[in-house]
Structure formats: structure tokens, C-alpha cells
Amino acid sequence: MEEIRGTVRNIIYRNAENGYSVLELVDDAEHAFTAVGELPLASIGERIEIAGTWTEHPAYGRQLKARSYHTLAPANVTALINYLGSGLISGVGEITARQIVAAFGMDTISVLEHEPERLREVSGIGKKRAARIAASFAQHKDLRDIMLALQDYGITVSQGLKLYRAYGNLCLARLRENPYRLIDDIEGIGFITADKLAANAGIEHDSPFRIKAGLKYTLQWARQEGHTLLPKEKLTEVACDLLKVDVKPAEDLLDELALAGDVVVKPVGGEECVFLPYMFRAEGECARRLSALIASAQAPALLGLEERIRLLEKELEIELAPQQHEAVLTALTSGAMVITGGPGTGKTTILRFVIRLVEEAGLDYELCAPTGRAAKRMAEATGAEARTIHRMLGYGFDNESFVKNEDDPVCADVIIVDEMSMVDVTLMRALLRATPRGARLVMVGDADQLPSVGPGNVLRDIIESGVVPVIRLTDIYRQAERGMIVENAHRINRGRLPELFADCPDFRFEESGNAEEIIRRVIALCSGATNKLVTRDPAKDVQVLSPMKKGALGVAMLNARLQQALNPPALKKREHKYGEAIFREGDKVMQTKNNYKTQWKRACGGVVEEGLGVFNGDLGTVIRIEPEDQEMMILFDDEREAVYDFTMLDELALAYAVTIHKSQGSEFPVVLMPLAGGPPQLLTRNLLYTAVTRAREQVYIVGRSRSVYDMVDNAKVRTRYSALRFFLEGFAELGGTQP
């Protein structure tokens, strides 16, 4: 660690959110150097002392990586003039700065701080201007003092800036009074951070502030785990274990939270349950709108529907099975319905019939799916245009501001949604808000797939409620049959062992019990070193899926090894290190969270389409890294190009390997699975079933057959607490209601 003094000559780059800066400085010997780090308040003309280490950047050369810094008094008159005239202080430009320094010399800072009224001694500075200059100088000094004081509480620079923007000069008082209020007021500060601040501020561990915050935090954690609620007893048990406090005060304070409207306590299935208010509203609104949609179903617009179906069967030379026939009829006569079934059960055939019949009737329709890959697959299967739900709804800057809603609904008589198992409760609410009264909502999905990543259990709750008509497809039809992939998928789903050792090119298994051996085999397959895959382009067509994030065969380790093997460093290949991750041109990446603000472009038929939004699960490739501009360009699989500022890279992850959960809604030519044991809660039947059904042409498993069989035997489905089913049943008992 070195301490270097210098004067800021230029601010090359600064992130306003976290204060990360790239500064050009001149030291006392007039040697220029570059400093990088969290330097949010360093201004042009200021003299500062930086503690840091020297690093060598591949593009920019030698840089001082700052760990901390503090401001020094200007060393001479010239530095003082530069400091005052930098634009930092309102009302002072270069000319005025020279006049002030000419009047007070090296005592200028003392005058500004202690005798600001003396500024009127300078020609051209009156009472109002002097007051403005003094106030600006004081504000800048106050901010510095506050930022220094906040560091004693363990507040980072970026957090400190957010605090100051929210509370101004009162931020220290707010912090000392109740650090837990920061959770609600400051984006990016959660319970863990607030709890550390509280400990530093001397807040007792059994403080009511802390217990209330802990109860709300537990509900927020539950939401991230997919729950929309927690039973009251479960909530207090988990929260008290986290907080190390007694249950009785937590129960009392939970009642206070309910009275204040911070939580909602309602009976669900005969048990007292606790919701975060927005989760309660979301599930309740979904139930209300879905019930109203069913109740408002209009008379069939298609006259002679049975005859039309028979004619279409002759035209397409397809005879619908009884289940399929019933599904087509129900889709066109019900306000809402569900079609559920595994691979090869004829869902696509049903959709083709529904679309043709709707088109013949001159009705408007929309096809949509939760992800871009699922929408693309839907379009390829049906021959009709399909969009993501977000694009159909005209997403705005957050998931609460879709353009399409009850006041401006989607222009469609029939809306068909594929991959419904992926739809969480917040997206379902937005979809129902935008579904016009009298329209038909056809929900298609596999109820045996994993539930949505987001909160809720929408598809299962709708099916189990018994309120919405459901067609369950159980038979495998020849027109949809895909060899052993489909056969083994259904075996797994029924609790039967898959055929691992049959000589079938579309479903292969290699026995191996050693993790390192498995990884080397996966690398060999992905690199094309073997011809056992059905594709000649594994880099494009193969997706490695793992049940786990961590461990020897978790996606973190697999991505590191696969990146090194498939896309190693090269002289002309630019890369950028972000935290522990290294992104390199040519890398396969995945968006890990919804971002409704990211801009993208797509060239299609000579026309450039522009839009907003990239979403959790979107896959793409790093096509360009621009160190000078601090940017990275991603080409997503649906041909959208998006530019990522380096500060946004926490939204991206390497995707040579992804978790099975993250693969939902996607389909890949080849799925490659390394399996060699792991936590039983992760190695479940529906996880294996989901992975197998992601493959279009080939499944290739490398690992222990025992692990495969254990997953088939492990039918335990992780409990997901939700209330949509019960709300739907309640509305049904009331005969439905209008939204």
C-alpha cells in the first residue's frame, strides 16, 4: 500500500451511482498518473492523498487502484485558484477564483469556512452572491464530513451517496435513530447491511426495530425462494432463529406490523398466513380477474365448430384424438382454460388447430411465452408469430408499468400463453390486467416441470383449484414422438427408471464416478473432440445443465473450466474482469435478472428494430469489449444487440453451463448433464424431468447411474407456499366477480 499526493487535473470517468471514478492527477513533482476506484467527491483542482496499490491495466497501462483518500489543502496559490475555479463551488468561475485568491491568498479556505461575509470585499461580489458561494462551499464540506463519519459505521461510498441523497444532512441522525428504516428508504440496503449498521450504532439485538425488520426480511427471503406467503408459525420460527430472540415478542410485534399495514395476515387453507402486502394484492387480483374472465365468456364466435374441426382434420390429414378434440373445443368456447401435458402429447397440434380456426373466423389472436427462446420455439412449432409476454404487454421501466393494462388492453380475441409453468404471480397479474373482457385465455404448460423462478405457483394453483377447465394430455402421439427423449421423460415423470444403456443416438449415458474425469469428458464433448454428439457445432448447439450452482460439478466450476477450454485468452481477444468473473469476447453469457431499461437493436430485413428490456434467462454472446468506453456488446440468441456499461455486469453470468432452473422455457438441440451426487433437495425427479425435456435432438448424461436413479426415486416436491388456488376457490363460491 502506497500513499500518493496529487492534484486532480481531469475526471476521465465517473459513475454517479457508486462514485467509481477514473482520475488524471499530477503529483508534487509534476508527474501525471491515473487513479481508479471509489473517489466520488474528488474534484478538478483538488489536492488529495490516495492510499492504494499500483496495477497494470492491459489497455490503459499503470494505474493507482485507490483504497481510500482524503482531501488536502491546496499546496500553492495556483492550486487554490484551480480548485476554486473548477466549477465545484456555485458562483465561482476562473476569473472570480483569481479575484478571491488575490484578495485572501492562502487564507482563502479559512475565509470561506469561517468568515464568508468577507467575500464582499472582492469586487463584483455582493451580499446575495457571497451567501450563495458560502452555502455551496459549506454544502460540499458537509458532504465530505458526513461521508467520513458514515465510514465509521461501515457504510460504503455508494451507500453513503444514496443516504445523502435521501436524507441530506440528517442522514447521520436517521442512521443513529433507526438503521432499519434504511431498508425501505434506500435501494440496495437490505436487512443484513442494516443489521450491521445497527450493531455499529449500538442498537440492542432485541430492539423492536430489529425484530420488525427481521420479520419483514424473512418474508422477503421467502419471496425470493418462490413463496408468496408464510404460515404465521413458520414465519416467527424462521425469523426468531435468524434474530436469536424469543418467539413471544416477535408474535406481538407481528401484530403491530399487521395493524400498521406492513404485512397482511389472512387464513389460507384453514391456517393463519402472513403476506407482504404487494404479494397479497397480486394473488388476490389474479384470482379476481381470472374468475371474472371465466364468468364473462361470450357465446362461441365460431358457428359450426364441430364441422370446421372435421374439415380441418381432412385438410391437414391429422385426426385429433379425443383429448385433443376436447382441448380445441374448450379453447374456443371457454373464457380461460389450461392444456397441460408432457413432451409428445400433442400440445402443438392442438395449438395449430386453434390458430387456424381463429384465423378462419376472422378473430384477432396473440401467441406469447415468458422468455424469448420459448417464444421463438412457439413460433417455429406453430408457424405463427409469437412474442414474449413482456413485449406483448409493452413493458416500461419496471414490471409495474406495462403499457397494456385494463385501460388499454391487448387487441386480441384469443390469447395463447405457452410455458405457463414459468409464469410467476406478478407477470400473471400484468397479463390478466391486459386481457380484454370477453377474450379467451388459453394457458399451455407442463405442470410437472419446475415452478417459476419468481414467486407463486400459478399453473399448479390454477389446475388444483378446479375453477378453470383443464385438459390433461397423457397419451404420446406418433406425430410428436421424438424417440428415447420423450420415452425416458415420461418414464421419469411416472417414477420409472429411464433406459440409460439402450443403443439410442438421441439419449446417451456414460458411466463415470470421478468429478474430474466427468469434467474432462464434458469438455471433450463440448469442444468437438468426439463425434458422439448429434451436432457438428457443439459450441452453438450444446447446453450443459447442472442441478447445482456450487461444488465440483456446479455451474461456477463448470463455467470456469469450459471457458478456459472453449474460449481461452488470446492476444487480440479483449477481456474484462468484473469481481471474480472474467468476461471475454466470444463468451457465452446469460442475463440473470430482468432489466426493463436496457436498450437493444435488431436488424431484420434491412429494417432496424429498437426496444427496451432484457430478461432473466436470455442467452447471448459477448461480441465486443470496449475498454476505453467501459462497454460490452452482447448479441442475444434472438439477434438483439445490447450495450452493457461495465457497471451493469453484475446482471450477466457465463453460460457455458447453467442450472436446470435457469433453463426453464428454453429448448436446446443437445442437453449435456454431468451428474455425480449432491444434496437430496436438489436431486429430485422433477428436476431431472425438466432437464431431459429441454433437449430437442439429444440428451447426453455423463456421471453415475446411481445418481440418475436416485433422482427418479426422489419424488419429493419442495413445498411452495402460495394462495392463488384458495383465492380462486373463494371467488368460485361467490360466483365470480368483476375486476
Quickly state the pLDDT bin for 287 (edges 50, 70, 90). Answer: very high
Start-to-end Cα distance in the chain: 64
Q: What amino acid occupies position 189?
A: I
Assign 3-class secondary structure to 449-515: CCCCCCCCCHHHHHHHHCCCCEEEECCCCHHHCCHHHHHHHHHHHCCCCCCCCCCECCEEEEECCCH
DSSP H or E stretch at residue 107:
none
Packing angle, helices 372-382 and 347-360, rounded to 10 = 70
Q: Which residue, among 432, 427, 290, has the nearest Cα to 371 in the 3D structure?
A: 427
Alpha helices in 23-126 (DSSP H): 77-84, 94-104, 108-114
Q: Is the pLDDT of residue 162 over 80?
A: no
Q: Is the pLDDT of residue 527 over 80?
A: yes
Q: In the prediction, which pLDDT does 564 show?
A: 94
Q: In the prediction, which pLDDT does 479 show?
A: 41
Query: Under a CB-based contact definition with an 8 Å cutoff, are residues 211 and 205 in contact?
Result: no
Q: Is the pLDDT of residue 191 over 90?
A: no
Q: In the prediction, which pLDDT does 97 show?
A: 86
Task: Please state which of the ranges 71-85, 278-292, 670-684 shows the lowest mean pLDDT.
Answer: 71-85
Work out the average pLDDT over 335-357: 93
Query: Under a CB-based contact definition with an 8 Å cutoff, are residues 74 and 49 in contact?
Result: no
Q: In the prediction, which pLDDT does 739 show?
A: 38
d(CA 364, CA 361): 9
Q: Is the pLDDT of residue 562 over 90?
A: yes
Q: Which grid coordinates are listed for 507?
A: 439419449
Work out the average pLDDT over 699-710: 95
Work out the average pLDDT over 277-305: 84
Query: Under a CB-based contact definition with an 8 Å cutoff, are residues 229 and 268 in contact?
Result: yes
d(CA 62, CA 486): 57
Q: In the prediction, which pLDDT does 170 show?
A: 82
Q: Is the pLDDT of residue 480 over 70?
A: no
Query: Under a CB-based contact definition with an 8 Å cutoff, are residues 733 and 469 in contact?
Result: no
Handedness of CA 637, 638, 643, 645 (dihedral sign): negative
Q: In the prediction, which pLDDT does 18 show?
A: 67
Q: In the prediction, which pLDDT does 55 show?
A: 87
Q: Is the pLDDT of residue 86 over 80?
A: no
Pairing of strands 414-417, 507-511: unpaired
Quickly state the pLDDT bin for 88 (edges 50, 70, 90). Answer: low
In total, the chain counts a number of residues equal to: 739
Q: Which grid coordinates are listed for 497?
A: 427408471
* Chain mean pLDDT for the chain: 87
Interacting residues of 375 by C-beta distance below 8 A, sequence separation 6+: 367, 368, 369, 386, 387, 388, 418
382-406 per-position pLDDT tens digit = 999 999 898 899 876 554 578 999 9
Q: Which residue, among 338, 334, 352, has the nearest Cα to 295 in the 3D structure?
A: 334
Task: Please state which of the ranges 146-155, 219-228, 382-391, 446-455 shows the lowest mean pLDDT.
Answer: 146-155
Work out the average pLDDT over 453-460: 93
d(CA 86, CA 47): 12
> Which position has the higher pLDDT, 171 or 495?
495
Can you state the percent helix, strand and coil of the chain, rounding each to 5? Answer: 40, 25, 35
Q: In the prediction, which pLDDT does 314 show?
A: 92
Q: Is the pLDDT of residue 14 over 60?
A: yes
Query: Under a CB-based contact definition with an 8 Å cutoff, are residues 723 and 273 in contact?
Result: yes
Residue 29 CB neighbour total at 10 angstroms? 6
Q: Which grid coordinates are listed for 527?
A: 469442444
Q: In the prediction, which pLDDT does 400 show?
A: 53
Cα 726 off chain centre by: 28
Q: In the prediction, which pLDDT does 603 show?
A: 84
Q: Quick one: CA torsion of 100, 104, 109, 113, rounded to 10 degrees?
A: -90
Quickly state the pLDDT bin for 478 (edges 50, 70, 90). Answer: very low
Work out the average pLDDT over 691-704: 94
Strand partners, 291: none
Q: Is the pLDDT of residue 73 over 90?
A: no
Handedness of CA 214, 218, 219, 221 (dihedral sign): positive
d(CA 202, CA 289): 48
What is the pTM assigned to this prediction?
0.76
Quickly state the pLDDT bin for 277 (edges 50, 70, 90). Answer: very high
Q: Which residue, among 658, 712, 709, 719, has the nearest Cα to 687 in the 3D structure?
A: 712
DSSP H or E stretch at residue 13:
strand 2-14
Q: In the prediction, which pLDDT does 144 show?
A: 67
Query: Under a CB-based contact definition with an 8 Å cutoff, are residues 365 and 415 in contact?
Result: yes
Most trustworthy range by pLDDT among 134-148, 253-267, 464-478: 253-267
d(CA 739, CA 731): 11
d(CA 666, CA 671): 11
Quickly state the pLDDT bin for 175 (edges 50, 70, 90). Answer: confident
d(CA 58, CA 674): 36
Strand partners, 274: 230, 265
Please report, rounded to a whole number, the percentage of residues in the chain having pLDDT higher than 90. Answer: 49
Q: Which value, in Å, is the radius of gyration of the alpha carbons in the chain?
A: 31
Q: What amino acid occupies position 330?
A: T
Cα separations (Å) of 548 from 388, 520, 555, 590, 618?
27, 18, 6, 16, 19
Q: Is the pLDDT of residue 558 over 80?
A: yes
Q: Is the pLDDT of residue 147 over 70?
A: no
Q: What amino acid occupies position 688?
A: L
552 burial (CB, 10 Å; 0-12 / 13-18 / 19+) is middle
